[in-house]
Amino acid sequence: MVDWVKNPTAESNNYWQQYIADHPSEKESIIQAKYLLERFQREKISPNADDINNGWLEIQAKILNPPPKARYLTVWMVAASIVFMIGFGSVLWKIIGNRDTSENYSTQVKMVPDGKEVKLILSDNSEKRFASNDPSIKYNQHGEIMVDSITLANEVSTLNNPDKEVFNQLVVPKGKRSSLTFSDGSKLYLNSGSQVIYPVSFNKKSREIYIRGEAYLDVMHDAAWPFIVRTDHLEVRVLGTEFDIKSYPDEINSTIVLVKGSVQAIVKSQKTMMKESELFTLDNITEKTSLGKANVLEYTSWKDGWMYCTNEKIENIARKLSRYYDVNFQFNDDKVKEMTLTGKLDLKTECQEILNVISFIAPIDYKIIEGNIILSSRIK
């Protein structure tokens, strides 16, 4: 993996893409390992001799005495996973200590978006939980927080230190959504299985947030006060615009769809200016990018409770529904995965009604067994 990150080739890119396709359960670990190696490379950090020696001893131990469920691991797989272990204590603090002035958001993530409730984590690490499907959260410049028009809390620390940015975190599990109005008036819609880290009040020369998952943003225009959205793989710089950004940890691609205005997509040193109705796609593994026209509604209609599809594979639709309704899909055969659907689905209805529509339009049967939705083809 180290050689792949340092000197990527078409052959190594294809190899790792195929490996991920064959081992989907390891996709997130590989993406995270690649991300960490790239951080080492950007910060010009190299493990010292002791780090390397200790790391190699760890590798040998894992090869000679692997855990029962991991005996199929090969030497190079163990070596790839050991990236997280080599000098972890010493190397990681160098990354954090030598970073630029931007926040290291990935280290601030306090939980994964699971469970059944939307969670708002305040600066003192206390949690506010909401059982509703789509809570609306709003901040003002004084640190006051309102949820569904009811005052919830006041981040007093922002009043005591007006020049210091205090961060909150919104965590939305599968089956839920949430909307968030920032202190500057910009609005964010957070999709299922997503989270966002943001300052209670923007007090710096730029307005900056971090997103893991999918969000639609309507940014208040201010030419002197740029708005920056960071993910684990890319960043977006805007002055005032509307766009959708998606960067889930378990998906190979990250995307940006521009609805209105203009934005700049940044991957490492590569900068791409986008126009309205354009789709920017990043392969998180190979870091290849592409830019093209898009049907905006296919990427943004989720915030209004719709799913627009144009020849979209059932496999992709099932993945989106799985997040939106917090359900699990299984396929009896691969033919169902490759079937396509064109139309729009009303996400404001129950999941079973969506399944009935899909079954009516496409030659697909479904069964619900022990909470799992099993799809099979009617074509034999």
CATH of the domain at 354: 3.55.50.30
Residues 116 and 166 in one domain: yes
- pLDDT attached to residue 33: 67
Which residue type occupies 130? F
What the block records as the tokens of 348 is 């404001």
Q: What is the DSSP string of 295-313?
A: -HHHHHGGGGTEEEEEEEE
Residues 137 and 22 in one domain: no
| Last residue within a domain, chosen from 268, 297, 326 | 297
Residues 187 and 282 in one domain: yes
Q: 3-class DSSP state for residue 204?
A: coil
Residues 134 and 262 in one domain: yes
- pLDDT attached to residue 1: 64
- pLDDT attached to residue 142: 77
Contacts of 107 by beta carbon, 8 Å cutoff, 6+ apart: 96
CATH number for the domain that contains residue 264? 2.60.120.1440
Residues 358 and 223 in one domain: no
- pLDDT attached to residue 2: 65
Residues 205 and 339 in one domain: no
- Per-residue pLDDT tens digits of the chain, which is 380 residues long: 667 666 677 677 777 777 777 776 666 667 666 655 655 554 455 555 555 455 445 444 444 444 444 433 343 343 343 343 333 333 333 333 333 445 667 666 656 677 889 999 988 888 999 989 999 999 987 778 999 888 776 765 555 566 677 899 999 999 999 999 999 999 999 999 999 999 998 888 899 999 999 999 999 998 889 999 999 999 999 978 999 999 999 899 999 999 999 999 999 889 999 999 999 999 999 999 999 999 999 999 999 999 999 999 999 999 999 999 999 999 998 899 999 999 999 999 999 999 999 999 999 999 999 889 999 998 87
Cβ neighbour number for residue 290 with a 10 Å cutoff? 12
Cβ neighbour number for residue 38 with a 10 Å cutoff? 15
Residues 146 and 74 in one domain: no
**Domain span at residue 342?**
305-377
Residues 151 and 180 in one domain: yes
